[in-house]
């Protein structure tokens, strides 16, 4: 440790590492000058720039670099398509997360993803009809050819992201599509060689020589966990991404990667669990190694293309529910003791305020608004009739495979 500029050794009863998963983007070996951040005070003008990646960080920085007054040529390099969710949904005109509730998440992910894919395609194709039907005022208005081009690229990116990738990654920063429609951002394919000067077009049919002035790699974010621990600590050794399986006094916060969701909410639940464990409120499982092995096996099957040694990929709501169940704060009907409150918790936007811990406020539940339209809720109820037997069959099959 460092204290007033001097190195020293000090022992602690517990160690919680919370430096975070996305401490720095992964460097690329290229002779092209690399930008790892966007400095508003030192704006780059009249340059040719390739931004690599399709996440929210990548599209956000591409959109900012493509501001008309900067006069840059911006290219967004993607290996495949991306699922772009509107920041403001045509249903109710609210942020997309407002429509994601516990009842929706209770449906098995296979069915949820299959239905979700069709819904997203319908939402893109019939945006205006959705807005009229659900009385939504769009926050981003484009007319004529610009609206058509935006819809064209929204559809194309979504179709190229079908299957495994479509079900995993959501980009909730759709503002960049306006810049794409206006031609300020050009979407291209992956790099052809390690020089990062030559690329395929997005359809992978033609080769393009771009020779950018700058590269902005927004992929493969890394933490400094390996560096600060000299290789002795890895995320894969932590149960649920936060509790070390061999060292009961070692914890992580912020190393879960939200496939869907956000890091602060997940970190909040991890912190509650860790503080409660340190304080003796929650007991460490005597079968933590067995539970951890099962969990690791499940992650490997679900996310075969991700490096689960150094990250813990999660769907935010189910993950928070797992921690809540371990803390006995899950808002079940038995806990809430009110059918009305239970239904409100199921249908209102997901929040950690729903959990029945010391901060739980039953009066606040009554004040929460349900944004999901009645017709959508009715459709989810109908889907649930198919979901219940499907989930049971999947659980039986999983148990049989486990025993084998």
What confidence score (pLDDT) does residue 280 get?
95
State the CB neighbour count (10 A cutoff) for residue 268: 15
Q: What are the Cα distances from residue 140, in Å, to 99, 150, 159, 300?
A: 19, 11, 23, 40
Please list the residues that pair with 2 across neighbouring strands: 7
Domains of the chain with bracketed CATH: 9-23+223-285+293-328 (no CATH), 33-87+139-217 (3.50.50)
What confidence score (pLDDT) does residue 198 get?
94
Task: Please give the Cα distance from 105 to 116 (Å, whole number).
Answer: 11
Enter the pTM of the model.
Answer: 0.82
Beta carbons within 8 Å of 400's beta carbon, 6+ residues apart: none
Token output for 217: 């790699």
Helix (H) or strand (E) holding 383: helix 374-403
Token output for 10: 């000090």
Is residue 382 over pLDDT 90?
Answer: yes
Angle between helices 263-278 and 316-326 (to 10 degrees): 10
Average pLDDT over residues 74-95: 86
The DSSP secondary structure of 199-216, one letter per residue, reads EEETTSSSEEE---SEEE
Token output for 113: 């993803």
pLDDT band at 163 (very low <50, low <70, confident <90, very high): low
What confidence score (pLDDT) does residue 165 get?
47
Q: Do the Cβ atoms of 263 and 255 come closer than 8 Å?
A: no
pLDDT band at 15 (very low <50, low <70, confident <90, very high): very high
What confidence score (pLDDT) does residue 394 get?
83
User: Residue by residue, what is the 3-state secondary structure of 238-276?
Assistant: EECCCEECCCCCEEECCCEEEEECCHHHHHHHHHHHHHH
């Amino acid at each position: 440790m460092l204290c007033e500029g001097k190195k020293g050794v000090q022992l602690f009863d517990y160690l919680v590492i919370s430096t975070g998963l996305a401490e720095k983007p992964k460097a690329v070996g290229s002779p092209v000058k690399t930008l790892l951040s966007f400095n508003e005070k030192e704006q780059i003008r009249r340059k040719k720039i390739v931004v690599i990646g399709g996440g929210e960080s990548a599209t956000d920085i591409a959109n900012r670099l493509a501001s008309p007054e900067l006069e840059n040529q911006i290219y967004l390099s993607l290996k495949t398509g991306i699922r772009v969710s509107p920041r403001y949904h045509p249903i109710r005109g609210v942020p997309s997360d407002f429509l994601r509730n516990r009842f929706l998440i209770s449906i098995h992910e296979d069915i949820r993803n299959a239905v979700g894919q069709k819904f997203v395609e319908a939402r893109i194709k019939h945006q205006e009809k959705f807005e009229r039907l659900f009385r939504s005022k769009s926050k981003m208005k484009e007319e004529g050819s610009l609206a058509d081009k935006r819809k064209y690229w929204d559809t194309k990116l979504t179709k190229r992201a079908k299957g495994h990738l479509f079900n995993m990654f959501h980009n909730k920063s759709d503002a960049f599509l306006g810049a794409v429609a206006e031609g300020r951002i050009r979407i291209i394919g992956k790099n052809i060689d390690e020089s990062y000067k030559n690329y395929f077009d997005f359809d992978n049919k033609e080769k393009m020589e771009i020779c950018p002035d700058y590269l902005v790699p927004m992929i493969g974010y890394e933490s400094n966990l390996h560096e600060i621990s000299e290789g002795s600590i890895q995320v894969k050794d932590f149960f649920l991404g936060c509790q070390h399986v061999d060292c009961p006094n070692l914890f992580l916060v912020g190393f879960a990667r939200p496939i869907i969701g956000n890091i602060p909410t997940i970190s909040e639940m991890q912190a509650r669990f860790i503080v409660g464990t340190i304080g003796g409120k929650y007991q460490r499982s005597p079968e933590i190694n067995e539970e951890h092995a099962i969990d690791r096996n499940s992650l490997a099957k679900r996310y075969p293309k991700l490096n689960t040694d150094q990250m813990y990929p999660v769907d935010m709501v189910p993950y928070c529910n797992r921690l809540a169940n371990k803390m006995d704060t899950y808002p079940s009907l038995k806990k809430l003791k009110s059918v009305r409150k239970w239904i409100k918790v199921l249908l209102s936007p997901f929040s950690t305020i729903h959990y029945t811990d010391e901060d739980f406020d039953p009066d606040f539940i009554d004040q929460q608004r349900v944004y999901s339209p009645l017709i959508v809720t009715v459709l989810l109820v109908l889907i649930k009739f198919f979901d219940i037997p499907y989930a049971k069959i999947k659980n039986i099959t999983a148990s049989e495979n486990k025993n084998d």
